[in-house]
Chain A
Amino acid sequence: MSTPAVFGRYWPADSPLHRLDPRTKILGSIALLVIVFCAGTYPALLVCAALMFALFACAHVPAGQALKSIAPLLFIIVITALLNLLFVQGGTVYASAGPLAISQAGVHAAVFLSIRLALLLLSGSLLTMTTTTLDISDGFERLLAPLARFGVPAHELSLVVGIALRFLPQFVDELHTIRAAQESRGGGLAARRGGASRLTSLIIPLFTSAFRHANTLSSAMEARCYHGAVGRTRLCPIAFARRDGVAAAVLAASLAVVIAVTALT
């Protein structure tokens, strides 16, 4: 089967970014979102882009791979750009048709927001490309741990997320097979009368398979002595190290630079 592009699929490598504490990376990617949102001018965006480029280089992820990872969500960027292009008005009008007009402000908004969105997506992708699903869910669990006192099932939530992410590539593969099989039975043709729609012919087998997987997986976990968070140890215990401090400092400095550049330009 082909491996379809999945948003932010983990990129195995041994880089400084991969070694960061997942909590740092989760909070860091939130910080990155803030930084990108704070960039209000093109020079500030350029700083953000440079930062993003440096971070991916630091994560040993090739630039092409980084861009490929956000390709599945490209449609969001395109739609946003189109909406801005058509509906934001102001400045010189380049072309118009009825109520729609392409103006200078529209072009600016489209370009600016596209870049900003791409950077936002890249910062999300950076997190998932450098952090295994288990680490992400562990990180969330630890971040949410203080809330466990108030009845938030932090461990269970993180387990759910971890398993969902583990099965994601598998479901993508299965969906491809199901689609090919239904297509072999003419499922892709326009002619369809009264019978099941194309969607049900895909969704129902996928759900059946999910339930079947869930059934065995729960037995398999039980067989391996799973009994909740109590008394569990960790192969890779997460702990803050000096590099986490360095990362925090880099992000804080970047935020300051971006705000300064935005204010000055």
Chain B
Amino acid sequence: MSLIDFDDVAYTYDGSSYVLRDIDLRIERGSFTCILGGNGSGKSTLAKHINALLTPDRGTVRVLGWPTDDAKNRFFIRSKAGMVFQNPDDQLVASLIENDVAFGPENLGVENPELRQRVTDALHEVGLQGFEKNETAALSGGQKQRVAIAGVLAMDPDIIILDEASAMLDPRGRHGLMKVCRALHNRGMTVVMITHFMEEAAEADRVIVLDGGSIVADGTPGEILTDENRLRSQALDVPPAVQLSDLLRQRGVPVDVSVGEDELVSDVERLLGAHGRKQARATGSPAEGIALPAQTGGRSGMPAGTFDHANAPAGGSSEAGFPAGENVPGEAGFPAGAGASPEAGAAATDGAASDGKAHALVFDHVSYSYDARAARAEGKRRRSRTRKQDASPATTEAAAWGSDPNATWALRDVSFTLEDGAFLGIAGHTGSGKSTLVQHMNGLLHPLSGRVLVGGTNIASKKAAAYARAHVGLVFQYPERQLFAATVADDVAFGPRNLGLSDAEVDERVRRALMMVGLDYDDVAAASPFTLSGGQQRRVAIAGVLAMGPKTLILDEPAAGLDPESRENLLDLVRRLHDEQGLTIVMVSHNMDDLARLCSQVLVMDQGRVAAFGTPAQVFADEAGLKAIGLGVPFAVHVANRLRACGCDLGAAPAGGLYDRESLADAIAARWRAAQADDTRAQDADSGAAGDADAEAMR
């Protein structure tokens, strides 16, 4: 008997259109199953059938052999099939962690001391031991989700269902969640996970793809995730390793299509293998050396990134670009590119670059704290806090899992300059100061020390801040949550009306803004924003900011929580706003591949400080430095570095200094052909000449 048994299940919410149809599915004890599918594919509905939150309209669902449609069984089924929901803020019941974890077993009537033991054990299993008395409200998203898992574990279930539980988490939170799931699976728990993330699906032992309410694919990750065409047709992401191996195969390199990065790297290493290393020794070039881009300003005609600290992240040294101490650079450092104007210095005087290019945004030694008084008395507080932490080990541990919410300084001596028309990406952990930073850009927050210049104007005064708000549009995370008006047109018109424009002008602005976000005025203007899809709501919210007529647009994780297809569309929209409308863009993102692909400059924040600032090529050249603060580099760059580390010479860095998947595939293919040619020459002297010529041409 299977643990979970769907027999010809169909379900409809409204009685006419079926969200699930003809579902036949058996899930065995101890398995790790991933369910994939685009929005509206029915995957959440399917999940809710497993713990009897929904019961089928046709067919039967049996869990541990008990049919879910019998109301008598539901209580038992729910105690054995626990569910974790998407939004970490929605599912915790109590203010204190231990009370929340105990909620389930309390409902089951578990008595002390077993109840207490279950709470302790469950928290231990999710890596939150000692957090019993902490408040749920003070946790990070990832920690909240782990508390939710602990709440399920305390019910002693056989099955744990995660309904897009990682969708709203940052990479670190996702990583922690995945670690817990892996550990649970290893000790025999049956895990059913609904997700958009391919790196999570790759860890499952079975992948099911839903489309239009039916199962369209069912197999191992190796079978399902390597089928690039099918994944694309289901609006799913393609795992990066699969994409790269496909690109290599197109170029004639006979790698296996693999889901995992490790397999791919060892495959490529084997193919290039001996040859690459031999050549590296022969030419004497250190294989580990990270090639720095020789030229500056490879992208969008931007000058080289301005580094605040005299040390550019030069090749190899992990420390250089990442000042660890609290040292304040006395004078702005020299720009990395020789011959570039000393912009930081010029900016400090009048906010206009010496080359005549206007500065959209200048941060000049900006520091900020949410608690101004406490910030001044920081030293004193820090000492007393240390004492407090001694008393409760949990608080000290909290800092290890996330940024300390009590950290006094949200920004520390932040300086950088952004030209008109730039596309700046901001990376950093939750709590690293990104949100505080962007709220300084349009005068919502004012620095405690230092200055912020928008278009050359210091926005410290109230009037200047109002000016900044009209010129710098800020799109918050999940902006659709701020929609309020009865119609889309009214909502978008909120900003222009606040500017005191005439009705005709407001209408013109609304039409233009909706057009800019790719929505049809006639279709949506009269509709209620709440009737639109999630992706469309987000576009309306962005239109509401664009209608203010900003020259600079700031987006805080614009693609967060969207499925792969809507995500891609939204990023394309941002790219077009930059390329076609000429807006200066500032985009906060956790996705390094997106940043490398879209941005002209990247700013890395860590604990309120600028950890690195420059072109993507400059910033991502230092993988070790980024890793030290818990961040990664784009996939292609990472693979290239791994290959170099195991001695494969990839030749000169690509134009622009940064590998993307295409250029990395090109480089590997060229090396592989050269290796082939060498082997042939060794075997057959006749064809040697041709192979040599070939290899030369490739170089």
Contacts and interface: CB of A to CB of B under 8 A. Distances in A.
B93 A220 contact: yes
A233 B109 CA distance: 5
A10 interface: yes
Contacts of B680: none
A179 to B, nearest CB: 10
Interface stretch (B251-259, B497-505, B691-699): B497-505
A203 B89 CA distance: 19
Given A186-B499, A213-B89, A225-B79, A201 B95 contact: no
Nearest to B152: A224
B112 A217 contact: no
B172 interface: no
A169 B137 contact: yes
Contacts of B116: 235
Identify the interface centre among B137, B148, B476, B500: most chain A CB within 10 Å of its CB. Answer: B137
A186 B498 contact: yes
Interface string A163-205: 1011001100010011011111111010111111000111111
Contacts of A149: none
Given A196-B485, A223-B51, A186 B112 contact: no
Interface stretch (B61-69, B210-218, B488-496, B621-629): B488-496
B93 A195 contact: no
B151 interface: yes
B373 to A, nearest CB: 11
Contacts of B79: 225
Given A10-B95, A220-B93, A205 B474 contact: no
B41 to A, nearest CB: 19
B149 to A, nearest CB: 12
A226 B105 CA distance: 10
Contacts of B484: 196, 200-205, 208
A192 to B, nearest CB: 6
Contacts of A202: 484
Interface in A134-157: 134
Contacts of A225: 75, 78-79, 104, 107-108, 155
Contacts of A227: 75, 107
A222 B83 CA distance: 10
A186 B548 contact: yes
Given A134-B94, A191-B500, A200-B484, A232 B107 contact: yes
Contact of A166 (B82, B93, B151, B444): B93
30 contacts: A2-B371, A12-B392, A132-B94, A132-B96, A134-B96, A162-B94, A162-B95, A165-B95, A174-B481, A181-B474, A182-B482, A183-B469, A185-B544, A186-B469, A186-B548, A187-B494, A189-B499, A191-B499, A192-B498, A196-B490, A201-B484, A204-B485, A213-B89, A217-B91, A220-B90, A220-B91, A224-B93, A224-B103, A226-B107, A235-B98
Interface of B: 48, 51, 53, 75, 78-79, 82-83, 85-87, 89-96, 98-99, 102-112, 115-116, 119, 133-137, 148, 151-152, 155, 370-371, 392, 405, 435, 439, 442, 444, 466, 469-470, 473-474, 476, 479, 481-485, 490, 493-495, 497-500, 530, 544-545, 548
Nearest 6 A-B pairs (CB), nearest first? Answer: A186-B498, A191-B500, A216-B90, A235-B102, A220-B91, A204-B484
